[in-house]
Amino acid sequence: MTLTPRRFVIHPAANHLVVIESDNNAAFPGAAPQQPKIEDGEDMDMETDNNNKDLSNQAEEFKAYGCPKPGNGYWASCIRLLDVVENRTLDLLQLTNNEAALSICTCVFHDKGGEVFICVGTGKDVRFNPSSHNGGFIHVYRLVEGQQFQLVHKTPVEQPPQSLCAFQGRLLVGIGNALRIYDMGKKKLLRKCENRSFPNLITSIATQGDRIYVSDVQEGIMFVKYKKSDNQIYVFADQVTPRWVTSFVTLDYDTVALADKFGNVMISRLPAQTSDEIEEDPTGSKLKVEQGYLNGAPHKLEDIAHFHVGDTINTLTRTSLVPGGAEALFYTTLMGSMGAFLPFISREDVDFFTHLEMHMRQENPPLCGRDHLSYRSSFVPVKNVIDGDLCEQYSSLEPAKQKQIAEELDRSPMEVMKKLEDIRNRLL
C-alpha cells in the first residue's frame, strides 16, 4: 500500500478488493522535492560549501524518507483495485485537485441491467483543525473487464460525503446532517429525496429492507423509515443517551451493536411493540403525525447490554472465525488490540460465569487497586456482559484459591477450566 488504507469493499462481480487510501500532509512518491530557499543578504561566496553540503544532505534525506511534507490540508489519495489471490494491484487511480477519498460502496442501480458500480465520496481541501472544506464529490466508476477503473461521471455536493450505502436500486448518501437518495443519471447523480433533520454529521449508514440505520457523530443511532409512496424519509426512533459513535453493526431487524470513541460497546434494541406499530402502518400516517420531545424522535431505543472496553474502538463486525462456528461480535481498537463478544446459548452458562466473575473480583483484584466493577462501568453501569478476560485469570490463581472458588460453584477446579476451554473453543 502506498498510502494509509481507509475503507474497502468487495466487488461482487470481479471478486476483487477496492480500497481507498488517503493521507493528510503527504505527497505521492515520485513528486519533485522542494529545494530550500536562500535568504537575502547571505554571503554566497563564504557559505557555498556549507549550502552544497546542506543540499546534498537534504537530497539523501528525500531519498531515504520520501517526498517532503506539503503541509496541513494537502492530501494524497488514491483508489486501488487489488487482487487478493495473486496479491497484486490491478489498477491504481490517483485523485487530483487535492481531493481525499472518504467513503466507498458498491451499488446496483435499478435501471442499469444489474451492473455493479463503485461509488466513492471525496472531499476537497479538507482540514480538521479548524474544520473546513471546499465541498465534495461523488465519483461513480465501473470496472472494465474486471481489471480497470472507468469514470462514469462526477457529481459535486456541498459537503464531503462521509458515508455511502446502496438502497433499493439507488444510492444513500450522508452529506453533513442530510440523508439523501440519489439515482443514476446520464451526466451526474440525480437527487430524489432528502431529510435534513439529523443533528450534526452522519458518519455511517446501514440498511435492511426499507429500514435505514444511521449513526450521528455525537447523537448515537437513529432508525429511519423510507416511504416509497410519498417519497419521504422519517426518523422514528433514536437513543436516550447521546453516543459518539465510531462504528456499528446490525444484529437483526430491531437490534444494533455500536461502539463509541470512549471505549464503550453497547447493544440497543427497538421495543417489539414499537416495531410492530411501525411495520403495521401501511400509510405512514403515524410517522407524519407523531412528534418527539426536545427535537428527538417519537420512539426510543433500549440499551440491553453495555460494557467498557477501555480503548477507542475503530471497527465492529459480526462474523465467525471458522466455518460452522459460532457467530461473535469482533472489534479492533486504536491501540491495536482485538476482542470478541460471544453470546451465551444456555441459562446455565450465564449463571455459572456470573458467579465465577463475582468470585474472581473478590479473590483476584486488579494490581492497580481500582475496583473491577467500577472500571467496567466507567460511563454507564455494566449490563448483561461477563468479563471473559477476568474469568480467564482463574488458571493463574494459586491452587488453594482455585479450589475455594470451585467449591463455591459446586464444581472441581478441572471442571471450571474445562468450562472455560469449551467457551474458548466455540470461538476459535
Evaluate whether 167 touches 34 at the Cβ level (below 8 Å): no
Alpha helices in 272-398 (DSSP H): 272-279, 285-289, 347-363, 372-376, 388-392
Q: Of the candidates 302, 332, 336, which has an alpha carbon nearest to the alpha carbon of residue 315?
A: 332
Give the pTM: 0.84
**β-bridge pairing 255-260 and 220-227:** unpaired
Q: Which residue has the cell 466487488?
A: 11
Residue type, 375: Y
- Amino acid 281: pLDDT: 67
In whole angstroms, what is the distance from residue 77 CA to residue 27 CA?
9
Alpha-carbon distances of 75 from 6, 26, 343, rounded to whole Å: 13, 6, 42
Q: CA dihedral in degrees (271, 277, 283, 284; nearest 10)?
A: -30
DSSP notation for 375-427: HHTSSS--BS---HHHHHGGGGS-HHHHHHHHHHTTS-HHHHHHHHHHHHHHH
Please say if the pLDDT value at position 48 is more than 80: no
Sheet containing 16-24: give its strands across: 5-11, 16-24, 75-83, 88-94
Element holding 265 (H helix, E strand): strand 264-269
- Specify the pLDDT at position 54: 55
Please check the confidence at residue 53 and state whether its pLDDT lies above 60: no
Confidence label for 30 from pLDDT (cuts 50, 70 and 90) = low
Q: Is the pLDDT confidence value at 293 over 70?
A: no
Query: What is the domain partition of the chain in residue ranges?
Result: 5-29+70-333, 344-427
User: Do 256 and 270 contact (CB within 8 A), yes or no?
Assistant: no
Architecture of the CATH domain 5-29+70-333 = 7 Propeller (2.130)
Cα angle 64, 65, 67; round to 5: 115
Nearest-angstrom CA–CA distance, 387 and 316: 18
Bridge partners for 381 per DSSP: none
Interhelix angle 347-363/399-408, rounded to 10 degrees, is: 140
Handedness of CA 308, 313, 319, 325 (dihedral sign): negative
Q: Which CATH architecture has domain 344-427?
A: Orthogonal Bundle (1.10)
The residue among 197, 199, 245, 200 whose CA lies nearest residue 221 is 245
Cβ proximity of 145 and 85 under 8 Å: no
pLDDT at position 427 is 85
d(CA 168, CA 185): 16
pLDDT higher than threshold 70 for residue 86: yes
Band of residue 297 on the pLDDT scale cut at 50, 70, 90: confident
Contact by Cβ (8 Å): 203, 177: no
pLDDT in tens, 298-333: 888 999 999 999 899 999 999 998 888 789 999 999
Question: What pLDDT score was predicted for residue 269?
Answer: 93
In DSSP terms, 117 is beta-bridged to 107
106 neighbors 166 (Cβ within 8 angstroms) = yes
Q: Confidence class of residue 39 from pLDDT cuts 50, 70 and 90?
A: very low
Q: Percentage of the chain surpassing pLDDT 90?
A: 51
Q: Is the dihedral of CA 269, 272, 274, 279 positive or negative?
A: positive
Nearest alpha carbon to residue 331 among 244, 220, 248: 248
**How many helices (H) does the chain have, and how many strands (E)?**
8, 26
Q: What is the mean pLDDT of the chain?
A: 85
153 contacts 187 by C-beta, under 8 angstroms? yes
